[in-house]
Amino acid sequence: MNAVNASGWRPQMGEAGEGGAFKTASGDYGLMLEEALSFELGSSAKCGVDLDTLARPAAAGLSKFLRKAAPALPGLTEPEAVRHYTRLSRQNYAIDLGPFPLGSCTMKHNPRLNEKMARLPGFADVHPLQPQKTVEGALEVIEQLADWLITLTGMASVAMSPKAGAHGELCGLLCIRAALDARGEKRDVVLVPESAHGTNPATAAFAGFKVQSIPATPEGRVDVEALKAKLGPNVAGVMITNPNTCGLFEPEMKAIGDAVHAAGGYVYCDGANFNAIVGKVRPGDLGVDAMHINLHKTFSTPHGGGGPGAGPVVLSEALAPFAPLPFVSRGDDGRIHLVEEENRGEGHDQAFGRMVAFHGQMGMFTRALTYILSHGADGLRQVAEDAVLNANYVLRSCEDLLPAPFAKSGPCMHEALFSDAGLAEGFSTLDIAKGLIDEGFHPMTVYFPLVVKGAMLVEPTETESKAGLDRFIASLRSLAQRAKDGDQSLHSAPHFAPRRRLDETLAARKPVLVWQGTPGEPGTPALSEFGGS
Amino acid sequence: MTRYFSQEHEWIEIEGDLGTVGITDYAQGQLGDITFVDLPAEGATFEKGDSVAVVDSVKAASDVYTPVSGTIAEANDVLADQPELVNTDAEVGGWLFRITLSDASELEALMDEAAYKDYVASL
Amino acid sequence: MRYLPLTPADRAEMLGVIGAASVDDLFVDVPAEARLSGPIEGLPAHASEMAVERHMSALAAKNLSAGTAPFFIGAGAYRHHVPASVDHLIQRGEFLTAYTPYQPEIAQGTLQVLFEFQTQVARLFGTDIANASMYDGSTACWEAILMASRVTRKVRAVLSSGLHPHYAEVVRTMAKFTEDEIVSLKPELVAEADDAAVIAAIDDKTSCVVVQYPDVMGRIPDLAAIAEAAHAKGALLIAVVTEPVALGMIEAPGNLGADIVVGEGQSLGVGLQFGGPYLGLFGCREKFVRQMPGRLCGQTVDAEGKRGFVLTLSTREQHIRREKATSNICTNSGLCALAFSIHLTLLGGEGLAQLAAVNHDKAQTLIERLAKVPGVTVLNQAYFNEATVVLPRDAREVVRDLADRKVLGGVSLGRLFPEDSDLHRGLLVAATETVTDEDIETFARELEGVLA
């Protein structure tokens, strides 16, 4: 189990680097291919699309608005474009290549059936403003997914339109604001644990609340007594992540909820870590009033290099009337209706408004529903169990070498949290992370949560095999040992990635955010300044 | 000229009723490479302890609190192009702003250089 | 279960390593009364790929897809032909299944695409810079208003009546929860955009004016005049572009004085998808960069001096600045940005201009033909690929009647502006390169039938 890909091929971008005098004329090395910018490759006159050339001149009314010159954008023919993007793609790590154990991000396998279903013309080629009777199947997808989300969470309803997790958080807090307004109360404080993800305080501020921080206990949980001490007539609610960012379940969740409700506030639960409990625990049984569900995490819609995600928000009875437009609702006639501005008067006048144009992330709804139907109630439960099992396996397989600050208190949920305490002087989490890149893995989440110094948060997910985990564990143990032994080569890792460590200070001090130059002209400032390879 | 230090790692040098404020060399070392400094507008009035400026490094943004109350007389515009001065010359050329003191007695609560050295050593 | 690699033997062995008797022992922190003892009741069990495909295909078949009917709907989402290579390339696993490029050494593919994307958007919009994208056009629009407040330190935003009503509703909703004052102008069924009313509404307290270009009725506002008036009062001009293909033909807003340009990028590469995921575009003047929301990708070098790219200026963002962040946004629309960028690279500057010319040509054919339908008049003086026609009766019924005849004949202004009954005879119709002359003829004949 310790052989880390002893025989197979793997990228070795650095082979011509340190100690190797060999340099190719092209700058490429076998399958390791550099790629210029599209702006350096293409020209405005090239086109990869055959267009009708018989268009007549602009109508007279448009003449004074015409563009003086076509935009200075490079074009590529199809073979050139396919090659450009394919070469670029090979400079990315991805789930499809190996474990991607980013804590709190739930990088699980993305089933390809989901992609296929989302591309059915009946879903992909439908306009959001078509007459309702021509989109009944689309509305049914939204309704079926909503049904599953409500049942899995034990909540009263769900707002489907938020575009991402942070957008869902905003939706939940705006529901709370609307509910408070309806009660005629001005409460302006939201309590957020210090271990929370940065979006929680940012969202609370965005929604017009003041943020007060709640400390964590030495066991990595919310300090319930400190929280209760802050409750009062000015507290609108709390934002709790459960399972929390330390990878632990908050056992006092129900008590927290009861105390918050008794004080007149609402409980927002950050559902980023729902993957650990889906099918095992219903947040609605724990006193939650609102919780967003990252469809791109638990329900495996692809992360796509940073979005798009989707963040539906399940709501309690108390908040359900305030959900934003538009939404689908099954009428007394058994038919599904789309509720939007035009018909909100029919019993939905408390909706707090609208968060997006159109209906939300339909393309993600079809993928998530496909995923859910594939797993079923039994499979989803198995997802949570295997995710938690995999994390505990990593935890117990590494804790003798890497301190696990909260592991003494019991098992973790779907994430194993380590710290960099005990490494040799001058070695830290960053060295382990960059070393993992050389080992052929994506690093774990680093320096988060902030409550643990040098945090390393490992979320294997349920779609890693035991053999895959064993390989990852062997690499992590090897790196921990090298960092304990003071192996200096770790400081300059990664050695074998498409790039060495990048100068982020330069990027921030002198921001270069767009390419300057004329398409298709080589030797532009960008290239000559930086030399290429 | 007298120089005082705060527990938040600002220094202030007094000349008449004008104080020049920056962050200490110890503070810049903790922050790492400074990439940007957000400076206050001239004429703005602040209370002691208000967040007046923000110092950015790649991964952190740190508030700078004014150690005294007063009105901003000048900001160090050189930092717009050379934020790295806060790293290389924190306690001279990397000053952040000049403030006209409204209450000189506030200086009594600050540390002198020896006391600040002891304070840093205790961290 | 085809997606779960652990075998029962694996699980037993792993529990042994952990020192737990059963998986339930790993859930001890969950209070017993909250733990479910088995699969949630009333929900179906797992299903084969074939069974799921059958179920989803049946749902898809209940929809009338745009490609199977004469199709003239726009109003903020446009049906364009997307080259086959776009969808192939975005399904490369290295793009599809990568995360946000927080480890730049192994994410140069995504990062370089974002750098190219930012450059494309900036050049298309005529702005100095652009970000790595937002959720969609409507949320980008609200973020732009917030940014204008930060830049000008004023909180009064004037919305042109030509702004897409969904966008305006998003703005009004969000402004309820901030201190921003929103002035919404009343839409009218007239030939020209409401430039004069917008200019009249600007005062010294105004942070920004928000003007859609072309506007929601297809009219084209005079951005240069509005920019001049706004700047005279210390306000910013935010231009909103819901159909980026138009910018292949009409002047870029940044070149006409717009300070911030936002838009919906769905037209290029992304597809209709019943409304999402879409692609928020955001460009602005370079001097506002520290006030921008969203991710930014920047150029730098690695330890060996090779050019590379990183996410940069992230101290603006929520994961560092927390409650002081410029926005709570935590993601972008990465894969949609990739699709947009590939499509635009396939077109190139001249190709985009030609595509725009074809769109305008089709729209002229459509408008000229509809003008011949008895009872129908054309509203617009100028239009690009979308215009408003006025019918003898409420257009909402007409649209539904057309759908019964399998024609997707535009969007009624009554659906977009339910409270403005003066507009209800307006019908918004769009024609892109996907429309054929036969489609136009069918539409015109069926409209004659419906109105007869």
Instruction: Look at the block and give the residue holding tokens 């189990």.
Output: A1
How many domains does the structure of chain B reveal?
A: 1
Question: Are C277 and C219 found together in one domain?
Answer: yes
Chain A neighbours among C 166-225 (CB < 8 Å)? 166-167, 169-170, 172-174, 176-179, 220
Quick check: B60 contacting C, CB < 8 Å? yes
Q: Out of C301, C318, C343, pick the residue that ends a domain.
A: C343
Q: CATH number for the domain including B6? A: 2.40.50.100
Residue B35 belongs to some domain of the structure: yes
Number of residues in chain C:
452
Residue C52 belongs to some domain of the structure: no
Quick check: C81 contacting B, CB < 8 Å? no
Q: Is the peptide bond between C277 and the residue preceding it cis, with omega within 30 degrees of 0?
A: yes
Question: Are C216 and C145 found together in one domain?
Answer: yes
Give C199 to chain B, closest Cα distance, Å.
30
Mean pLDDT of C371-386: 97
- C35–A122 C-beta distance less than 8 A: no
pLDDT digits (tens, 9 = 90+) for C59-108: 999 999 999 999 999 999 999 999 999 999 999 999 999 999 999 999 99
Please give the angle made by the CA atoms of A191, A195 and A198, to the nearest 5 degrees: 80
Q: Out of C312, C327, C343, pick the residue that ends a domain.
A: C343
Best to test chain A binding among C53, C99, C195 (most A CBs inside 10 Å): C99
Tokens of C224: 């240069």
From chain C, pick out residues whose CB is under 8 angstroms from the CB of A388: 23, 26-27
Using the predicted structure, report yes or no on whether residue A5 has a pLDDT greater than 70: no
What percentage of chain A has pLDDT greater than the value 90?
77
Closest C-alpha to A456, from A444, A472, A440 = A444
Distance CA C333, CA C267 (A): 14
Question: Are C267 and C187 found together in one domain?
Answer: yes
Question: Are C321 and C182 found together in one domain?
Answer: yes
Mean pLDDT of A481-502: 96
Give C445 to chain A, closest Cα distance, Å.
20
Amino acid at B43: G
Question: Are C336 and C361 found together in one domain?
Answer: no
What are φ and ψ of residue A426, in 5° steps? Answer: 90, -5
Q: Out of C313, C343, C373, pick the residue that ends a domain.
A: C343
Is-contact A89 C111, C-beta < 8 A? Answer: no
Closest C-alpha to C390, from C419, C361, C420, C427 = C427
- In the three-class reduction of DSSP (H, G, I as helix; E, B as strand; rest coil), residue C406 is classed as coil
Q: Looking at the DSSP assignment, which residues form a beta bridge with residue A211?
A: A190
Question: Are C363 and C316 found together in one domain?
Answer: no
Closest C-alpha to A104, from A396, A448, A404, A403 = A448
How many domains does the structure of chain C reveal?
A: 2
Question: Are C104 and C123 found together in one domain?
Answer: yes
pLDDT band for position A522 (cuts 50, 70, 90): low
pLDDT digits (tens, 9 = 90+) for C166-212: 999 999 999 988 879 999 999 999 999 999 999 999 999 999 999 99
Q: Would you kindly state where each structural domain of chain A is located, as residue ranges?
A: 23-50+70-91+500-533, 115-368, 383-499
Q: Which domain holds residue B85?
A: 2-103
From chain B, pick out residues whose CB is under 8 angstroms from the CB of C314: 58-59
Q: Which domain holds residue C403?
A: 66-82+349-451
Question: Are C129 and C205 found together in one domain?
Answer: yes
Residue B118 belongs to some domain of the structure: no
- C290–B59 C-beta distance less than 8 A: no
> What pLDDT is stored for residue A527 in this prediction?
38
Assign domain A383-499 to a CATH class: alpha beta
* End-to-end C-alpha distance for chain B, whole angstroms: 28
Tokens of C66: 């745009």
Residue B99 belongs to some domain of the structure: yes
> What pLDDT is stored for residue C322 in this prediction?
67
Question: Are C254 and C318 found together in one domain?
Answer: yes
Closest C-alpha to A392, from A369, A412, A372 = A412
Amino acid at B98: R
> What pLDDT is stored for residue C84 in this prediction?
98
Q: For the purposes of burial, counting CB atoms within 10 Å of the CB of C197, is it exposed (0-12), middle (13-18) or buried (19 or more)?
A: middle
pLDDT band for position A44 (cuts 50, 70, 90): confident
Question: Are C306 and C192 found together in one domain?
Answer: yes
Residue B119 belongs to some domain of the structure: no
Residue B110 belongs to some domain of the structure: no
pLDDT digits (tens, 9 = 90+) for C411-433: 999 999 999 999 999 999 999 99
Using the predicted structure, report yes or no on whether residue A6 has a pLDDT greater than 60: no
- C11–A373 C-beta distance less than 8 A: no
pLDDT band for position B61 (cuts 50, 70, 90): confident
State whether CATH 3.40.640.10 applies to domain A115-368.
yes
Pairing verdict, β C377-378 and B45-46 = unpaired
Question: Are C184 and C272 found together in one domain?
Answer: yes
Question: Are C74 and C89 found together in one domain?
Answer: no
Mean pLDDT of C29-57: 95
